[in-house]
Amino acid sequence: MSDVDLTEEKYEKHREAGEILAQVREETAEKVEVGASHLEVAEWAEDRIRDLGGEPAFPVNISIDEEAAHATPSADDDSTFGEEMVNLDIGVHVDGWLADTAVTVDLSGNPELKAASAEALDAAIETVEVGVTTGEIGAAVEEVIDGYGYNPVVNLTGHGLGHWDQHTEPNIPNRAVAQGVELEAGQVVAIEPFATDGGGKVKEGSEEEIFALEREASVRNRQAREALAQITEEFKTLPFAARWLDTDRATMALRRLKRQDIVHGYPVLKEDDGCLVSQKEHTVIVTEDGCEVTTRSR
C-alpha cells in the first residue's frame, strides 16, 4: 500500500470515529436528566460506541459543576444527576485513530455559561486554517467567553490527536498567547473551550478512576499481572477506567502498578474556586482553506 493510500485510510478512520462519536454524544446527552445514574449513562455510552463499530478512546467523562475533567464513575458508583451543570467528554477510536468531543448538559439553570463555551468553540473553528497560530485560536476563544462575562479555564487546552495517542502537539490554548504554533494541513486537533464563573484555573482533586500505561515491566503479583496483560492488549497507551479491568481486586492491582510507575492516574480536575465549568469540544482536520469537523452531527 502506498503512503498516499495509508494517509487516506488514516483520515477515513478519523472520520469514521467522528461519525460514531457525534451520534453517541447526541444520544448520551438525551439520557442526562435529574435522577439518572452516572454509571448507567457512562456504560450505556461506552457500549453504544462498540455497537456502532468503534471503541472508547477513553472512559466517558461525567464532570459535575466545578469538575472540569477526568471524572468517571467507579464500578460501584451510585451517584445520580441533580440540578447540576454536567459536562460529557467522550472519545472514540477506530484502529487507534481518534475523535474527541464534549458537550455541556445544563440542569443547573445557567444557560449563558453553557452558551459561552459553545459559541467560543464556533468562533475558534472559524479561525482554523493552514498558517493560523494556536495563539490566534486561543484569542478567539477568550474574546467570546470574556464577552459573556466569564473566564476561560487557562490551564486546560485543546490538543492534537495521534495514533493511539490522545494528547499530542500542538496544544491549543483557551486564551491569547504570543508564542503560538502555526497549524499545518492534515493535522488532527481537538479544540475544547472551558468557561467558568470562577477565576479560570483548575487544580487536581484527590479522586482517581482513570489511568494509562506508563511503561511495560514484569510484576510478581497475580492480579497486577492480569491487569497489566489486559491493559497492554486492549487499551495500549490510551486511558482506561478502573471499572474496565476484569481481574478481581482491581483497585489493589492498580495500586501496585502505580507504585512501580507502570501506570499513572488522572486526578479529577476541579475549578480552583469551586465554581461552575462548561465545556464544548470538536475534533477537526486542518485543511488548506479551513477545516473539516469530524464530530459534527450530520
Task: Point out the residues that are catalytic.
Answer: 89, 100, 159, 167, 192, 281
Residue 221 and residue 250 in contact, taking contact as beta carbons nearer than 8 Å: no
Q: From the CB of residue 172, how many other CB atoms can be counted at a distance below 10 Å? A: 26
Residue type, 243: R
Q: From the CB of residue 298, how many other CB atoms can be counted at a distance below 10 Å? A: 6
Name residues whose C-beta falls within 8 Å of residue 154's C-beta, 6 or more positions apart in sequence. 173, 174, 175, 200, 201
Burial of residue 109 (CB within 10 Å: 0-12, 13-18, 19+) is: exposed
Cell numbers at 233, concatenated: 492488549
Burial of residue 163 (CB within 10 Å: 0-12, 13-18, 19+) is: middle
Whose CA is closest to 189, among 205, 175, 170, 204?
A: 170
CA distance linking residue 84 with residue 105, whole number of Å? 9
| 295: phi then psi, degrees, rounded to nearest 5 | -105, 15
Residue 200 and residue 117 in contact, taking contact as beta carbons nearer than 8 Å: no
Helices 3-31 & 38-51 angle (0-180, nearest 10): 150
